[in-house]
């Protein structure tokens, strides 16, 4: 497990992270991709 940062002023807002995820979808597979993403999102929210 990672240790806590040792920097001064480590309030919660200093720990925010943004992730950018890119996907390449093969032609003709777009609908299956959309469905999979929607299903994944539903599982994450529950």
Q: What digits encode the pLDDT tens for the residues 1-46? A: 566 656 565 565 667 788 888 889 999 999 999 999 888 876 666 5
> Which phi and psi angles does 12 have, rounded to 5°?
-55, -35
Q: What's this model's pTM, rounded to 2 decimal places? A: 0.45
Residue 12 CB coordination number (10 Å): 6
> What would you report as the CA-atom Rg of the chain, rounded to the nearest whole angstrom?
18
Helix H segments across 1-46? 30-45
Q: What distance in Å separates the CA atoms of residue 37 and residue 35, rounded to the nearest whole number?
A: 5
Q: Name the residue ranges covered by the structural domains of the chain.
A: 18-45
Q: What distance in Å separates the CA atoms of residue 43 and residue 35, rounded to the nearest whole number?
A: 13
What's the pLDDT at 4?
62
């Amino acid at each position: 497990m990672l240790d806590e940062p040792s920097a001064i002023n480590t309030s919660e807002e200093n720990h925010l992270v943004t992730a950018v995820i890119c996907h390449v979808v093969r032609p003709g597979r777009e609908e299956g991709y959309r469905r999979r993403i929607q299903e994944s999102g539903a599982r994450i929210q529950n």
